[in-house]
Structure 1
Amino acid sequence: MTAGPRARYREQVRDEVRAHAWEQIVEAGASALSLKAIAKKMGMTAPALYRYFASRDELLTELVLTAYQDLAEVVEAVPVDAAPETTLRLLAEALRDWASTNPQRYLLVYGTPVPGYSAPPDATDLARRIFTPLVTAYTDLLGSPEAAFGRSVTFWSRLHGVLSLELAGHFAGMGVDTGALYDAEIRSVTGKA
């Protein structure tokens, strides 16, 4: 059934709010997210905007879930190769491509936590979807689910370390080739050094 004009308008306003929220996050970080500032930019009063999002945390939750969902879809689209090392490399490359294309989304879910905000349980489910292909590839590689989990955590932590530092600008002026560094980490954690 097609949504009526009121429902379509409501969704258009919510889309515009989300777009302005991403702009705020790019400009000042997730901690600076402000419904009042968004309302002003849209020519609305803050109370009027609260009819579309009850709170900053509700809006933040939608943004967090959207970011996780996007990454989950990217990771799940990675082809599984007969060689687990190849699958791991493809997963790592997909993560870096997504993060480089969507730095604000990456930093929202993997950067500094927003003070006073707790992500909903749905975020954990999405994070599990993102992590599962790693564990599967390492299980295929090692044959042991316990060892696979530990290696997956190492893989994830090291790659996110490089990505987080890169996207936050901490390698600026150091002459570090972040692509080469990331590639070296992939080789190290997949045993292809």
Structure 2
Amino acid sequence: MADATSSPRARYRERTRGEIKAIALRQLAEGGAPAVALTRIAKEVGLSGPALYRYFASRDDLLNSLIRDAYDEAARATEGIAADLPASPRAALHALADAYLDWAAEEPHRYLLIQGSPLPGYQAPPDTLARARAVLGPFVKVFATGRPTASVRPVVAETETWVRDDEAAADWLREYAGLTATDPRAGAALAGTLLSWSQLHGTVSLEVSGQYAGMGHRARTLVTAQMDVLADSFALE
């Protein structure tokens, strides 16, 4: 008996969902999340309005799918680097940061979709947290090798408390660095990751939204400098 997921009906459904998402992504690139219009998508796909709701229950449901896809693609960008990380933790940090920046620069509309609320009142589905942590997971492994200096020890102290109190954070640490919540390296691993995320999010968001235009520098120059400062702060070799 054929697997139901490979039936002609199932394949048609997935193909149609893919077409709907492709059009939504084009609308997103043209005008951001507010430009995603189900009625225009239905017309372009050749469906009635009610028929479209058999594929996505609402615009939020469609946005949820786009957000999941964007996180998964961003994770593939960093995981691709993580599969062959340089032996030097400092070089590994730069490689991961560059991969993150490259993905965002190539897919700015998708980056902006996942970094912030795309629409007033929108609530992202809970499973996006795990997807976001997958993007940053390789950073956890890099900073697990770090030796925090005085400047970042207050952050390390807070992340040590966080990972002891939050089972999901402990799972994140275990999955990507093979560490327990009580391991002496736990605080550094998460503190460095959070600081990297904060630095990257600031620079990348400003870059993809055009805020650096005309200022005479490249976002990569800033990211390189920021990652060097972090590497120094955690004594990454």
- Amino-acid identity (%): 43
Paired residue type of 1:81 = P
What CA distance in whole angstroms lies between the structure 2 residues aligned with 1:44 and 1:16?
A: 11
Check whether the contact 1:31–1:115 (CA below 8 A) recurs between aligned residues.
Answer: no
Q: Which residue of 2 aligns with 1:135?
A: 140
Is 1:189 paired with 2:235?
no
Contact 1:111 1:164 in 2 (8 A): no
Tell me what 1:120 maps to. 125
Q: Does 1:4 align with 2:14?
A: no
Residue 155 of structure 2 is aligned to residue 155 of structure 1: no
Aligned runs of 1:47-66 on 2, under 5 Å? 47-66=50-69
Question: Which string of whole-angstrom CA distances, capped at 9 and with x for unpartnered residues, describes residues 89-113 of structure 1?
Answer: 1110110111112112111111454
Tell whether 2:28 aligns with 1:25. Answer: yes
Note if contact 1:159-1:182 (Cα within 8 Å) is conserved in structure 2.
Answer: yes
**Equivalent residues of 2:33, 2:113 under 8 A apart:** yes
Q: CA RMSD in A?
A: 1.8
CA contact (8 A) 2:98 2:220 kept: no
Q: Which runs of 5+ in 1 are unaligned?
A: none
Letter in 2 for 1:106: Y
2:206 to 149, 162, 165: 165
Kept in 1, the 8 Å contact 2:207–2:219? The answer is yes
Deviation readout 1:109-131 (Å, 9 max, x if unpaired): 11454222211121111111222
- Greater C-alpha Rg: 2
C-alpha distance in 1 between matches for 2:124 and 2:58 = 14
The TM-score normalised by the length of structure 2 is: 0.75
CA deviations on 1:125-175 (whole Å, 9 max, x unpaired) are 111122222122111122732133222211111111111000001111222
Q: 2:72 aligns with which of 69, 72, 80?
A: 69
Normalised to the residue count of structure 1, the TM-score between the two structures is 0.90
Once residues 45 and 132 of structure 1 are traced to their aligned partners in structure 2, the CA distance between those partners, rounded to angstroms, is 42
- The match for 2:187 is 146
Q: Which has the higher contact order (CA 8 A, sep 6+)?
A: 2
1:5 Cα deviation after fit? 2.5
Kindly report structure 1 stretches of 4+ aligned residues shifted beyond 6 Å: none
Give the structure 2 partner of residue 81 of structure 1: 86
Larger deviation: 54-63 or 183-192?
Answer: 183-192
Between 1:77-86 and 1:91-100, the stretch displaced more is 77-86
Question: Which residue identity is paired with 1:161?
Answer: G
Gaps of 5+ in 2: 148-183
